[in-house]
């Protein structure tokens, strides 16, 4: 039961962080803020993955709080998916494909960057 509390608390913090960032005005049809949020979340989860590989740096509860909770609540695959579909439905095909590819590639690079910051490849 305690594990659910750690995930829930972290998820609430992550969701509030995401909401706060989404309030920053961006004058563009391109969903830059979601891309930035997901990239930052990918870097953070890479750092946490690297830290968890080192003995006793993170407990199981701290991983549940930070990785599953905060990162899970902060990043948003569903918003990314909705924005990508919306761009395609609005016949902004180039922008939609650019968004999809840049999101996937930047988030993969973000995880690698986060891991490399603490654990060289």
pLDDT tens digits for 1-39?
A: 899 999 999 999 999 999 999 999 999 999 999 999 999
Residues tagged in the binding site annotation for Na(+): 72, 75
Say how many C-beta atoms besides its own lie within 10 A of residue 89's C-beta. 9
The model's pTM: 0.89
Q: Which residues contact 5 (CB under 8 A, 6 or more apart)?
A: none
For residue 96, CA distances in Å to 31, 75, 106 come to 10, 19, 15
Task: Give the domain extent around 111.
Answer: 2-118
In this structure, are residues 86 and 31 in contact, taking their beta carbons and an 8 Å threshold?
no
How much is the pLDDT for 86? 96
Q: Which backbone phi and psi does 49 adopt, to 5 degrees? A: -65, -45
- Number of structural domains, the chain? 1
- pLDDT tens, position by position, 54-108: 767 788 999 999 999 999 999 999 999 999 999 999 999 999 999 999 999 999 9
Residues tagged in the binding site annotation: 72, 75
């Amino acid at each position: 039961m305690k594990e659910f509390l750690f995930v829930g608390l972290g998820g609430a913090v992550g969701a509030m962080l995401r909401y706060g960032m989404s309030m920053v005005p961006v004058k563009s049809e391109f969903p830059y803020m979601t891309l930035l949020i997901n990239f930052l979340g990918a870097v953070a989860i890479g750092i946490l993955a690297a830290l968890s590989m080192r003995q006793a740096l993170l407990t199981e509860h701290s991983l549940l709080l930070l990785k599953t909770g905060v990162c899970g609540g902060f990043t948003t695959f569903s918003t990314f998916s909705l924005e990508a579909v919306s761009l395609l439905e609005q016949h902004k095909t180039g922008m939609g494909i650019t968004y999809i590819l840049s999101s996937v590639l930047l988030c993969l690079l973000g995880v690698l960057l986060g891991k490399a910051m603490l654990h060289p490849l």
